[in-house]
Structure 1
């Protein structure tokens, strides 16, 4: 009887032990399921937020694209009007230049002479005139900026004149005269008060104009180097003769 009771007790204890083990496994599974549920919920929320962000960016991109297309369309529609206005201005300036060219009257007035040279895009004449009027530099500075606006292409006129000056096509002049004339001509392209490093930088120029200006500057530097070398050799020869 005692032996049977002991066996029954062991069975009962084993049952409870198995029940506790299953309870622990069930608790572990429940905890794991809760953790996974929380993780997937967080992941789903993150994906939803990213999806909303992407949708907002797509809408912004579409809006910006539409605005850009509308702006381009407006610019395209304004091209004929701008071309017509530019053509009218060119025609007016051409007629004015032809009238002045036909007129045999010699311009004694400095302002009229400058305007006439600029309207005719006469870079050589403008260059000779500027160099010859150095004694009237104060009045020349005041008038040349207004006169240069009478030209069909002010930037090209000035670059032609400066290029000719650098290459000595007008005649040999001193370095001081060259630099002074170049300064007068280049400054004429910029409105009074405009300067580099400020918001009011003045007019903007096409890339071709900028590239040509850079090439002229390189030629100027090369010429300066040649002149300095020649001056140095001349001084050396003079010292040797002495």
Structure 2
């Protein structure tokens, strides 16, 4: 029993997880303009998700029934299942017939109440508000619509706001939810085939003409074209519009699961050969294959050449993506993902329609494996070089090499390794050099300083601050050794150190040179 409870809890969390997936998908779809072609739609994922969920729920009910029988130990008499409504099993001319394991669910009271009161806008709002429970609401919707006095009018009233003013199209998440709900209502209305009175059909026709002028022609907002075509199919309005123009709209939603059923419902069966040619000419080979099999035109349009053309076109699209992205890692990954998706779609057709003898899939599998390996290699971090010895790192890794053995503290007088260019610049005649000529020794070292033999000791008893001599030499030792007065208390400066009357700014210059600096 504990395992049954765990399964039940997992099934209850499916809706929340699917809602999170939907939000993530819509966020991804909002960036689809940066991709070469983004044809996958949330509806496709949702349908696949719903089919898996229904299958799991059906098996779970069977498991519960078996556990109940085991716990009862055969004491309770087995009840015969209730007789199903035969009208629910009748196939619709517009939608695929329900599977035997998908009986129509009894509508919940609030859903039924909205239909009985003919509240179209309230019905639409209820579905949007309960979209987390959409699989269950969808199963109950057909039964709820049957309780309405005029289902055709009820659904038509719910179409308000499908094209609001100043809309952002399908990229607007709230508007996209409204449009999906409207399409769902139109589909469920077509499934029950309600009576459509003449004035209701005329109202739907006027609405269809209004929508036609607003539908995007380039396929940028596929929900617009899908809603318009579903409106025509539900209310039987296909003959009121130009067939070629409608087929152009069908081409923009050809990958949608509803495309084939819409063509049948609107009455395009006799125009499908021309439509397949149009898809081929527009480079939509995979969509053409879909209609070839749906309308059994394999003899007229062999599917294998179309599949091979799709593989070739996918490679070309991948090359264009790489070129446009300057062959960056992001562009390479995007191109590989596009090509892998195309190859997997071709493989699915090969498997579903038993085309292995005509089109072996080994080359496709190898190509997919090769691209996936390349993607995996691009994700791996670059190998770090082996650690070099410390001395070698100092010689090659640093901009300014340092000696391996620390040198003793340097003095300005001992600094002899000065670049020649720097020496030339520093030793050029200047005003300072002229003014400090008395302080420069004839045996001066670099920077015009006295040689080590003539440098006055740092902080000597006869020197000024920084070891500047009070008479004939300008000596300095800015880096004294540890033996040269490490503590201030060992040697005090002359009494005139901070006396401006006896020194230039406290630097101990003789009085005869003060006038030249302060005219």
Bin of the TM-score, shorter chain as denominator length: 0.3 to 0.5
Task: Using CA pairs under 8 Å that are at least 6 residues apart, name the structure with larger relative contact order, 1 or 2.
Answer: 1
**TM-score, structure 1 normalization:** 0.38
**TM-score, structure 2 normalization:** 0.19
